[in-house]
Amino acid sequence: MKFSYKRYGSETLRPVIEIKVKSGSNFLRYEVLVDSGADICIFNSEVGEALGIDVKKGKIREVFGVGGKASLYYLHKVAIEVGGWRYNIEAGFMPDVAGRVMPYGIVGQKGFFENFIVKFDMIKEEVELKTRN
């Protein structure tokens, strides 16, 4: 599966793709940054609430971002679907996960990269995913 990078402003390209996030019978389409530097998948807490998850009842954890800023998130079991492939994962839910400027979540090593072989091609402005069979 190949996905085109998304453009933000006039000069910024990012590997942002659309996935489905599911909890029970509820699901949402949600854009996520494919981030090889992220340890886990982290989604906006509003996404969890829209799926019927009581976000603050999850296991609380702390993450440190660029600049050493600490943020709290709450772990929950959900499913993600990418290109018709479904995976059950544990994801964190956090308010303003990508800041207030960017409207996307993050998919990282655990939950995403462990399920896909990921190839970034900045020149072609695309990210390619292959499932691990």
**What pLDDT is attached to residue 68?**
76
Closest to 16 in 3D by CA, of 129, 127, 131: 127
Q: Cα-atom radius of gyration of the chain, to the nearest Å?
A: 14
pLDDT at 77: 97
Tokens standing for residue 68:
């050493």
The CATH number given to whatever domain includes residue 92 is 2.40.70.10
Residues 64, 75: contact at Cβ < 8 Å? no
Separation of alpha carbons 133 and 38, rounded Å: 23
Q: How many domains does the chain have?
A: 1
Calpha distance 34→19 (Å, rounded):
11
pLDDT (0 to 100) of residue 26: 96
Q: Alpha carbon of 23 to those of 1, 19, 110, 126: distances in Å?
A: 24, 13, 18, 29
pLDDT for 102 equals 72
Block mean pLDDT (10 aa), the chain, length 133: 92 94 96 94 94 96 81 95 94 80 88 96 96 82
Is the entire prediction scored with pTM above 0.85?
yes
- Domain range holding 76? 2-131
